[in-house]
């Protein structure tokens, strides 16, 4: 069985490489010729722990190849996975499906039977549209919806040990082919759910909306905890021990970000509006999350005090989470430019490197953590990278008389800083 992954981004590349690693022959295709050239030379375009090694191993074993020729790659393959981006449209709310439908247009030119699997996150009814476009005269293509649930930073583990594999299809036999394809993962304990195309599409959006709700719920409770001197972590543990609630996604922090939750919650609300069935809870979550960025921004400005133009903040981490280089919809993308526009100098350090987006006035990248923290007024721990969990404060204080730390990830015990020249603030803790 030959597989083709169209779109070698965070999802397409990881899934393609991992399928190769479980023994399939895989072609990863992208329209970005430079990306493909680099991949062919063994250069991984994204930061994802463990991925470099798997690319090398499977390329050497001749199971994994890279191409910028969509037509030829599709022709050679039996199952075509669509893993292109579905970002937010210019309207700021709905999903932009132009990348997806441009690939579908190319597939139309193929005359032989293929299984077309949509891995990209797409609104309810999209796979029916693909079916209509591709199967006008004869039934040449079998359409499958197979949403992806991997998390950046833990993508390989998530691919190899998923909680569930969701397959939406109109055909029992095609669903069985997909079950066979995923058998190595099912044998290791993944649940397999076969359902309709539309159910699979909605399961993905509903999952992300639910997780975003959980995060916003604990973030809002953290605000209350700060007012009533309660530790939000005790509350999170206390409620998370209830099996009906569960402990995960209950860590208070900054607004949620990343390439999925913000865009998918908005796209789901747009779909619901279209069908005149508003989702008031998800709408409240989106509103709260947007306001949270401002809330934290204002707290940072308050911590800096007067004379903002003479102040320097150091951001530790700018990606939306640790172990990824992805900054899409990260809180830092909103906050840092705002501070810079107020005349505040912003130093930043991120283990995944400099970001082009921040090549702006008053924003300075450092490739050394301790250089970034020299002569500053405030450290904002924005991302929970491991190297921020055990900072050398003696070293930091050598270059600063006194510092404030605003730890948006609660990486340190609040008692740790007593009797030090450090004022420590965190999220939802007295």
List residues near ligand NAD by CB under 6 A.
6-12, 29-32, 70, 83-86, 99, 102-103, 120-121, 148, 150, 152, 259-260
CA proximity to 185, closest of 21, 322, 37, 398: 21
CB nearer to ligand NAD: pick between 127 and 347: 127
Closest approach, Cβ 124 to ligand NAD, in A, equals 14
CB 172, CB 184: distance < 8 Å: no
Q: Mapping DSSP to helix (H, G, I), strand (E, B) and coil, where does residue 89 land?
A: coil
CB nearer to ligand NAD: pick between 35 and 409: 35
Distance of CA 173 to the CA centre of its chain: 33
Distance of CA 56 to the CA centre of its chain: 24
**Contact partners, residue 289, CB within 8 Å, separation at least 6:** 212, 215, 216, 219, 255, 256, 262
Closest approach, Cβ 166 to ligand NAD, in A, equals 12
Placement of tokens 């102040």 in the chain? 311
CB nearer to ligand NAD: pick between 258 and 428: 258
Residue of minimal Cβ distance to ligand NAD = 9
Placement of tokens 């992954």 in the chain? 5
CA proximity to 252, closest of 18, 16, 429: 429
CA proximity to 112, closest of 84, 77, 86: 77
CB nearer to ligand NAD: pick between 86 and 142: 86
Closest approach, Cβ 281 to ligand NAD, in A, equals 21
Closest approach, Cβ 123 to ligand NAD, in A, equals 11
CA–CA gap between residue 354 and residue 418 (Å, rounded): 34
Distance of CA 13 to the CA centre of its chain: 14
CB 149, CB 162: distance < 8 Å: yes
- For the four alpha carbons of 411, 415, 421 and 426, in that order, the dihedral sign comes to positive
Closest approach, Cβ 328 to ligand NAD, in A, equals 8
Q: Which two tokens stand for residue 193?
A: 């759910």
Is residue 260 part of the annotated active site? The answer reads yes
CA–CA gap between residue 308 and residue 37 (Å, rounded): 46
φ and ψ at residue 310, rounded to 5 degrees: -105, 10
Closest approach, Cβ 424 to ligand NAD, in A, equals 32
CA–CA gap between residue 184 and residue 181 (Å, rounded): 8
Closest approach, Cβ 106 to ligand NAD, in A, equals 7
CA proximity to 227, closest of 29, 428, 381, 59: 428
CB nearer to ligand NAD: pick between 147 and 428: 147
**Burial class for 428, CB neighbours closer than 10 Å (0-12, 13-18, 19+):** buried
Of 4, 18, 260, 314, the active-site residue reads 260
CB nearer to ligand NAD: pick between 94 and 373: 94
CB nearer to ligand NAD: pick between 260 and 344: 260
Closest approach, Cβ 15 to ligand NAD, in A, equals 9
CB 330, CB 318: distance < 8 Å: yes
CB nearer to ligand NAD: pick between 10 and 406: 10
Name the strand (E) or helix (H) holding 166: strand 164-169
Catalytic residue numbers read 260
């Amino acid at each position: 069985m030959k597989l083709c992954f169209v779109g070698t981004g965070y999802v397409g590349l990881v899934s393609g490489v991992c399928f190769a690693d479980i023994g399939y022959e895989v072609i990863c295709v992208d329209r970005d010729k430079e990306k493909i050239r680099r991949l062919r030379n063994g250069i991984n375009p994204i930061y994802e722990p463990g991925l470099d090694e798997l690319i090398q191993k499977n390329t050497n074993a001749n199971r994994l190849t890279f191409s910028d020729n969509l037509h030829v790659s599709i022709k050679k393959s039996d199952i075509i996975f669509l893993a292109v981006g579905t970002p937010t449209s210019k309207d700021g709310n709905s999903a932009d499906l132009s990348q997806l439908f441009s690939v579908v247009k190319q597939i139309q030119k193929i005359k032989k039977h293929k299984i077309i699997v949509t891995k990209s996150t797409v609104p309810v009814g999209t796979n029916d549209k693909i079916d209509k476009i591709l199967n006008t005269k004869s039934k040449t293509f079998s359409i499958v919806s197979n949403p992806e649930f991997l998390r950046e930073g833990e993508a390989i583990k998530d691919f190899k040990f998923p909680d569930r594999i969701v397959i939406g299809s109109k055909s029992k036999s095609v669903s069985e082919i997909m079950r066979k394809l995923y058998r190595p993962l099912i044998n290791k304990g993944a649940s397999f759910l076969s359902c309709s195309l539309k159910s699979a599409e909605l399961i993905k959006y509903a999952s992300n909306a639910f997780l975003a709700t959980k995060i916003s719920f604990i973030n809002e409770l953290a605000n209350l905890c700060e007012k009533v001197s309660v530790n939000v972590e005790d509350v999170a543990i206390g409620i998370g021990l209830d099996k009906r609630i569960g402990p995960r996604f209950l860590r208070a922090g900054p607004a949620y970000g990343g390439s999925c939750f913000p865009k998918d919650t908005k796209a789901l609300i747009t779909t619901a509006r279209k069908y005149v069935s508003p989702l008031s809870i998800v709408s409240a979550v989106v509103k709260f999350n947007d306001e949270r960025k401002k809330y934290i921004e204002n707290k940072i400005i308050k911590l800096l005090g007067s004379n903002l133009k003479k102040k320097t903040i150091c951001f530790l981490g700018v990606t939306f989470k640790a172990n990824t280089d992805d900054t899409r919809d990260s809180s830092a993308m909103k906050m840092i430019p705002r501070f810079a526009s107020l005349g505040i100098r912003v130093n930043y350090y991120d283990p995944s490197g400099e970001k082009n987006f921040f090549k702006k006035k008053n924003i300075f990248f450092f490739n050394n953590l301790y250089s970034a923290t020299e002569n500053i007024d405030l450290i904002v721990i924005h991302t929970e990278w491991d190297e921020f969990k055990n900072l050398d404060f003696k070293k930091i204080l050598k270059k600063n008389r006194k510092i404030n730390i605003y730890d948006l990830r609660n990486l340190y015990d609040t008692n740790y800083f007593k009797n030090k020249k450090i004022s420590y603030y965190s999220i939802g803790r007295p």
